[in-house]
Amino acid sequence: MTATVGQQAQAAARANDVWKVYGSGEAQVIALRGVSAEFERGRFTAIMGPSGSGKSTLMHCLAGLDSVTRGTVAIGETTVTGLGDGGLTKLRRDKVGFIFQQFNLLPTLTAKENILLPLSIAGRKPDPAWYDTVIDTVGLRDRLDHRPAQLSGGQQQRVACARALVSRPEVIFADEPTGNLDSRSGAEVLGFLRNSVREHGQTIVMVTHDPTAAAYADRVVFLADGQIVSELIEPTADTVLDTMKKLDTPAEVGS
């Protein structure tokens, strides 16, 4: 099953017949069963599915955090499958940004230092104009010298978003970015994730199980049982919820 939207050449991330099998024998678990998908440049894609559907695994494989059992994964022009540690590090450094559910900021660094960390690790200077834009977008200008412990959860997640945005990666992977936030902070974060796509042409792939969060995306891909079972373009919370409900009833699965 292939879900293709837009021109192939413009895909920021691509999965081609990806299988992921954990364990062997009795304990074998097939997390992904031949998933093929493309995520085009400049769009905000959500991956949804019930628990155990393989949505997080798919994202980890796409981002090069996990290896695939079969099939290939590519980010932009780079084939991720088969890259060594050095190659994967370079890929993460230059082409991929991450936003995690648990924020994952370094407690010893200030907000500003956390934001600039990927660039300093890569030994690059930030583009000042873009840096200002990002800071203003996330609205953290007056919090830059604070340490993570001095920031609220929403602020910490905005720092994490800024960190992902500032290096202008090919694609940002967000793993339940609002999972640890209250609904207002969550809405703020989702709002500027969408803005960064609309206004700055950023590519974002977000894993979520929250229909409201998914409604911020341009497109939603639904996974069940390790396979892509459905997708929605220009979703709303209601259409997402409807689709999810259908997925929950195995008889209706099948598209």
Partner 1 sequence: MFRATLKSLLARKVRLILSGLAVVLGVMFVSGAFVLTDTLGRSFDSVFADGFSEIDVNVAAKPKVELSEMEGEQTAAPLPAAVVDRVRQVPGVASATGVVNADGARVIGSNGKVVTSFGPPQLGENWTGESDLLKLREGRAPQADDEIVINKGLATAAKVQVGQKVGVLTAFESKKRDFTLVGVFGYSGDRDSIGGVNEVYFTTPVAQRLMLGAPDAFSSITVQAADGVSDEKLRDDVGRTLGADYEVKTGEQVAADASASLKEGLSFFNKILLGFAAVALLVGTFLILNTFSIIVAQRTRELALMRAIGASGRQIIGSVVLEAIAVGLIASVLGLAAGIGVGALLAFLFGKLAGGLTLAGIGVPAAAVIGSFAVGLVITVVAALLPALRASRIPPIAAMQDVATPDRPLTKVTIAGSLVTGIGAVLLFLGLSGNAGGQTLATILGGVLFAFIGVALLTPLISRPVVSLLGVIFSWSVPGKLGRLNSGRNPRRTAITAAALMVGIALVTGVTVILDSAKGSISALAQDTIKAELVISGQQGGPRPPSFDPGVLDQAKALPGVRLVDGEYGDMAKLDGKSTWVAASSDIASLRQIFGAKATAGDIDRLGPTQMLASSDEATARGWSVGSTVKVQPTRGEVRTYTISGIYESSQLTNPVTLPVQAAKDFTIPQPIQGFIQLAPGARVADVQPQVETLLADSPEVSVADRDAFIKQQTGQLDGLLTMIQILLALAIVIAVLGIINTLALSVLERTRELGLLRAIGLRRGQTMGMITVEAVVISVFGALLGVAVGTGLGAAVVEALKDEGITDLILPWGQMGVFLGLAAIIGVVAAVLPAVRAARINVLGAIAHD
Binding stretches for partner 1 (CB under 8 A) = 60, 65-66, 85-86, 89-90, 92-94, 97-98, 100, 102, 104, 106-109, 117-118, 120-123, 149, 163
Alpha helices by DSSP H, listed for the chain, are: 55-62, 85-94, 111-122, 128-138, 153-166, 183-200, 211-214, 237-248
Rounded-to-integer distance, Cα 98 and Cα 93, Å: 10
Report the residue number, 123 or 254, with the smaller CB distance to partner 1: 123
Report the residue number, 65 or 144, with the smaller CB distance to partner 1: 65
Instruction: Please give the biggest Cα pair distance in the chain.
Output: 56
Amino acid at 138: V
Report the residue number, 94 or 225, with the smaller CB distance to partner 1: 94
Shortest distance, CB of residue 71 to partner 1, whole angstroms?
18
Backbone phi, then psi, for 219, in 5-degree steps? -155, 145
Shortest distance, CB of residue 237 to partner 1, whole angstroms?
28
Report the residue number, 152 or 236, with the smaller CB distance to partner 1: 152
DSSP one-letter string for 59-123: HHHHTTSS--SEEEEEETTEE-TT--HHHHHHHHHHTEEEE-TT----TTS-HHHHHHHHHHHHT
Shortest distance, CB of residue 98 to partner 1, whole angstroms?
5
Shortest distance, CB of residue 106 to partner 1, whole angstroms?
6
Report the residue number, 55 or 246, with the smaller CB distance to partner 1: 55
Shortest distance, CB of residue 26 to partner 1, whole angstroms?
23
